[in-house]
């Protein structure tokens, strides 16, 4: 479903990502781990087209997305969350979830201006999608609250909800458990499984919490200093000497 082929990018002299290749199959939960500065977020920024690759290519569903504009990545079915949540602080949960709507509109501007039936129909469908996501992630009690007043753990879930409201087939989660307490992290593991199994969405996740990674992942990619040092099942990764070295040194 998603493949990177020898992807590289550098910033000044820093090789943030160097000749990285990986393949994510439809239906997988695929985790990317590695020490701070390994290039994990940069990889997400390349896939979601915030950054241009210096070299290499990226395909989604077998089609190249290496050079498509960012909005097209979303239209094709890839949604993401950010390491530091990027929500509209002064708006309600519901408003934040409704914001992604325009991405999937199939109507022309003139139709929207005239507010034709087709437009209204799409609005209703989207409203229903948003309500379904609110139900799925158990956010009913927060729907009319202002983001700025919510605890961090809830905001993280709202960010995931917002990505789901785009109706993606692939979701990129950048450190979904960061800032969550152990109980919230446990809940998160169940949400991730629901998203993967019930909504049939492929999940690629950058994560530091190895319990969570081991619990939900089909495969794990290990990055260090911008290069791939291992890929395998959680079990295969755990005892891998190169992985231990990357985290602990010699
Ligand atoms: N826009 C940028 N400009 C300059 N350097 C950047 C930029 N984005 C990333 N880098 C550098 O690329 C390297 C990889 O950063 P990245 O954020 O991808 O790491 P990470 O694996 O996500 O780390 P963390 O676990 O701390 O989030 C770092 O050295 C970082 O400073
Ligand atoms: Mg990061």
In the prediction, which pLDDT does 42 show?
97
The ligand that comes nearest to the alpha carbon of residue 39 is 1
178 Cα to the center of ligand 2, angstroms: 11
Looking at residue 40, what is its pLDDT? 97
Q: Whose CA is nearest to atom 17 of ligand 1?
A: 41
Question: Which ligand 1 atom is the nearest neighbour of the CA of 223?
Answer: 21
Which atom of ligand 1 is nearest to 83's Cα?
27
Which among 20, 34, 38 is the best mutation to test ligand 1's pocket, defined by most ligand atoms within 8 Å of the CB? 38
Q: Which domains does the chain have, with CATH numbers?
A: 1-77+168-250 (3.40.50.300), 90-167 (no CATH)
Which pLDDT belongs to residue 224? 95
Report pLDDT for 120: 72
Q: In the structure, which protein residues have their CB atom closer than 6 angstroms to any atom of ligand 1?
A: 11, 14, 16, 34, 36-42, 83
- pLDDT 10s per residue in the chain (250 long)? 999 999 999 999 899 999 999 999 999 999 999 999 999 999 999 999 999 999 999 999 999 999 999 889 999 999 999 988 889 999 999 999 988 665 555 666 666 666 666 767 777 888 888 999 999 999 999 999 999 999 999 999 999 999 999 899 999 999 999 999 999 999 999 999 999 999 999 999 999 999 999 999 999 999 999 999 999 999 999 888 888 888 877 6
The interaxial angle of helices 117-136 and 152-164, nearest 10 deg, is 140
Using most ligand atoms within 8 A of CB, pick from 39, 43, 51 the residue to mutate for ligand 1. Answer: 39
Q: Which atom of ligand 1 is nearest to the CA of 40?
A: 21
Phi and psi at residue 34, to the nearest 5° = 155, 160
Q: For ligand 1, what atom is nearest to the CA of residue 206?
A: 22
Please answer whether residues 60 and 2 qualify as being in contact, where contact means their C-beta atoms are separated by less than 8 angstroms: yes
């Amino acid at each position: 479903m998603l493949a990177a082929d020898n992807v590289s990018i550098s910033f000044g002299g820093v090789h943030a990502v160097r000749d990285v290749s990986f393949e994510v199959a439809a239906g997988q939960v695929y985790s990317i781990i590695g020490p701070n500065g390994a290039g994990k977020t940069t990889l997400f920024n390349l896939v979601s087209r915030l950054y241009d690759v210096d070299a290499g290519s990226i395909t989604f569903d077998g089609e190249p997305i290496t050079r498509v504009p960012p909005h097209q990545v979303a239209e094709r079915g890839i949604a993401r969350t950010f390491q530091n949540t990027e929500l509209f602080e002064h708006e309600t949960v519901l408003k934040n979830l409704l914001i992604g709507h325009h991405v999937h509109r199939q109507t022309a501007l003139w139709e929207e201006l005239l507010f034709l039936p087709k437009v209204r129909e799409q609005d209703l469908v989207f409203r229903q999608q948003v309500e379904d996501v609110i139900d799925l992630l158990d956010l009913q009690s927060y729907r009319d609250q202002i983001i700025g007043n919510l605890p961090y753990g809830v905001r993280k879930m709202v960010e995931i909800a917002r990505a789901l409201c785009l109706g993606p087939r692939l979701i990129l989660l950048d450190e979904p458990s960061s800032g969550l307490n152990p109980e919230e992290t446990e809940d998160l593991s169940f949400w991730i499984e629901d998203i993967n199994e019930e909504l049939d969405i492929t999940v690629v996740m950058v994560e530091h919490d190895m319990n969570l990674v081991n619990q939900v992942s089909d495969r794990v990619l290990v990055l260090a200093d911008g290069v791939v040092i291992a890929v395998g099942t959680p079990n295969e990764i755990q005892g891998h000497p190169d992985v231990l070295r990357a985290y602990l040194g010699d």
